[in-house]
Amino acid sequence: MGASDPEVAPWAPGGAAGMAGAGAGAGARGGAPAGVEARARDPPPAHRAHPRHPRPAAQPSARRMDGGAGAPGSGDNAPTTEALFVALGAGVTALSHPLLYVKLLIQVGHEPMPPTLGTNVLGRKVLYLPSFFTYAKYIVQVDGKIGLFRGLSPRLMSNALSTVTRGSMKKVFPPDEMEQVSNKDDMKTSLKKVVKETSYEMMMQCVSRMLAHPLHVISMRCMVQFVGREAKYSGVLSSIGKIFKEEGLLGFFVGLIPHLLGDVVFLWGCNLLAHFINAYLVDDSFSQALAIRSYTKFVMGIAVSMLTYPFLLVGDLMAVNNCGLQAGLPPYSPVFKSWIHCWRYLSVQGQLFRGSSLLFRRVSSGSCFALE
């Protein structure tokens, strides 16, 4: 995941990872009667599943893979529940911040330490770049332990705004009004419900992403100042003034499009893949069918997040490109005309997945690292 928010989610993974809260699909289970009364109610024959196409049980939402919080509660407990989600999200964000900080510095191509010689699983000698732990120790040596949390404040504000936005949207457009996927649905009906649920999640994610993106841009720029030892972006309010003065209103939304595309591809890919796997590949006669279905979306989320990583990388690089900081200017990076230009450049260099691994980092042929 890249420096997103990790919303990604997360964004469960990335969201810190994916990583809190239940998605829209989980709401189907919350309203079911409990105990004997629920088990005693058999559906009428007209609503039973087609004998040739048994349907899986409702799945939790994929959106929570990026770290977004679940829906706040309702009634008198709503403010308390929403505050709890914000507090939990802030804690996870603070704990994961050093990881995201190191990843961003690797994404922009900052390699202050030389590679070391090692061997791979085949016994061949290869050059390895410093891992996350070595990189983090270097940051501590330069800036102290507090340096690992550079750019944390705007990131906390961004995640809190995203959580509150989702909660407000759930109140305006309650997910309870949506029909949930049930094991009593036939193939066509269940697919329609998955599409409707995914569309709902996509709407919430896109709106929250757009509202929180200006703070995400400020957080990214605060962190990459480590490269050139600048102090241009210090506080949130002063950073807002600088960006508006130098780049106008559009400066707050640089890199937004690839992030939105990555979110949309992730949601649809994860939800549809999990649906078709549960529908066609998991047989109800198998004793562990329910257990497998409960993990399908989690596994699909990890796989799809790897495929959508280039969107995250491009979005983060565009957020810091040509903003007056050394990390966004040559020789670290060309001045990109658009996010498509950035994507093509990274593709030619073989760097579309730069920063995706933080432990075993081999020096690739397209690396900008120069051996002395």
Encode pLDDT of 328-338 as tens digits.
999 889 999 99
Q: What is the CA radius of gyration of the chain?
A: 23
Please count the other Cβ atoms lying within 10 Å of the Cβ belonging to residue 232. 15
Task: Give buried/exposed letters for 113-142 (b at 16+ CB in 10 A, else e).
Answer: eebeeeeeeeeeeebbbbebeebbebbeee
pLDDT tens profile 231-269: 999 889 999 999 999 999 999 999 999 999 999 999 999
- Provide mean pLDDT across the span 317-326: 95
- Provide mean pLDDT across the span 51-58: 45
4 or 335: which leads in pLDDT: 335
- Provide mean pLDDT across the span 28-50: 42
Is residue 279 over pLDDT 50?
Answer: yes
35 or 173: which leads in pLDDT: 173
pLDDT tens profile 86-111: 899 899 999 999 999 999 999 999 99
Amino acid (one-letter) located at 45? P
Q: What's the whole-number average pLDDT of the chain?
A: 79
What are the angstrom distances between the C-alpha of 56 and each of 266, 270, 302, 315? Answer: 21, 16, 21, 36
Dist. CA 116–CA 175, nearest whole Å: 52
Task: Quote the pLDDT of residue 177.
Answer: 55
Task: Quote the pLDDT of residue 48.
Answer: 42
* Secondary structure of 250-294 as H, E, C letters: HHHHCCHHHHHHHHHHHHHHHHHHHHHHHHHHCCCCCCCHHHHHH
Task: Quote the pLDDT of residue 125.
Answer: 87
This model's pTM is above 0.85: no
Question: What residues does 8 pair with on adjacent strands?
Answer: 67
82 or 216: which leads in pLDDT: 216
Categorize the per-residue pLDDT at 13 as very low, low, confident or very high, splitting at 50, 70 and 90.
very low
Which DSSP letter does residue 10 get?
A: B
Is residue 341 over pLDDT 90?
Answer: yes
CB 282 within 8 A of CB 56: yes
Is residue 182 over pLDDT 70?
Answer: no
Percent of the chain at pLDDT > 90 equals 51
pLDDT tens profile 280-310: 887 777 777 788 888 888 899 999 999 999 9
